[in-house]
Structure 1
Amino acid sequence: SEVGFNLYCRLLEEAIKELREEEEGKEKKEDITPVIDIKIDAYIPGGYISDLKQRVLIYKKLAEIKDLEDLERVKEELKDRYGIYPRELRNLLEIIYLKIFLRKLGIGSLVVKENKLILRYLQNAKIKAKLSRLPSFYQQRLIKEEHRLSGISKIDLSGIKFAEILKFLKEFVINLAKDSI
C-alpha cells in the first residue's frame, strides 16, 4: 500500500505538471517511467550470463532503453554475444517493450491482478478515446464500473492462459497505440 500511495502521488504530480504545461502551451515530455506489475519470471539468469559484472552492465543497458531501436540493438547484442535468450530474459525484454509503448501513451502503470489488467494513466481524454476505438475483442473485455475513478481502466483477462498474458498485453498495447506512435 505504501508503493501504491507513492505511485498515486507521483501520477498526481505528473498530471498537475501536464496540465500546467498545457496551459503554457508546452508539450509534455515522455519522461514517465511506467510501473509494470506482472507475476512472471523476468530477469537475466546466471546460466545465461555467468559473469556478475557483465550481467550488471546488461541490466544498466536495459534500464537505459527509451525506444524500439535501442531495444532491438540490445537484443541483437545479447543474441550475438550470449546466444538465444532463455524464457526469463525473453519475458524481461517483452516487459521493456511494453514500457516503451506505455511511456509514449502516458500510462503510468500496468498491473495484472486477479484476472484483471489495471491501467492507470495521466492523459485521461486521450486514453479513453483510444480505448473506445479498440477492436471489439478488447472492447468486450473492458470492465464498466459506475463509480470508476478517473484515470483508471480495467480489462477482464479471464479465459487467457497465464502463459499467454504477455502476448495479450503486447497486442493490447500495440492496438491502443495505433495512430500515435
Structure 2
Amino acid sequence: MTARPVNPAIGAGLEPDGCCAPAVPPSGCTLVDLIWRKGEIEYWIRFGRPRFKWIADHERRTVGFAPGSVFAFVRWTANGYGTTASRIDILRAADAGRPCQTVPHVQPGAEILLKQHGWPRVARVLEAIDRIEAIGIPPGDVVPDYWRHLHHRLSANEAPRRYTRLRHAAWLKRREVMP
C-alpha cells in the first residue's frame, strides 16, 4: 500500500494547529511513527503541535515536529492476557546537527525530558498533563524543567509539585530575557 500525505484539517487523530501537509517532511523535523491496532498496540501523541502528518495506512501514520517543540509520546501494548507494556516519553524535538537521545519510533531522536514506564506512573503523568490543561496552559508550552522535575519525583516515588500559572508566567518572562 502506498503512503499518502494527509490534509490535517480532515483529521489524522491530532489537532490541526494550522499546519500544512507537505508530501515530504520539512527539513530538520523530528519524525514519530504512530501505530494503532486497537487492543494490541497503540502508539499516540498525547500533546504537541505537529508540522507534518502522513498516513501510511489505517494503522500507521507519521507525524513530524519542528526543532525545539515539546510533545508527549505514549506507547502501550497488550496481548491476550492484558497489558504487557505502557510508557510515556515527553520529548523535545532535536535541532538539526545537535546531539540527541535515541527513542524507539522517533527519528533521528530527541531530548528526553520525562521517561516513565508502568501503568501507575504513566497514569500519574497523564493526570499531571490533565491538571496543566485544566488551568488553561498548553502542555507543550510548559517549562522543560518541570517535566524533568516530574520525572525525578515519580522515579523516587515522591509527590511532585504542581505546575501553576505563576510558575508559567515566570517561565515566559525568563524566555523573553534569555534566548
The TM-score range, normalised by the shorter chain, is under 0.3
Larger radius of gyration: 1
TM-score (norm 2): 0.25
TM-score (norm 1): 0.25
Q: Which has the higher contact order (CA 8 A, sep 6+)?
A: 1
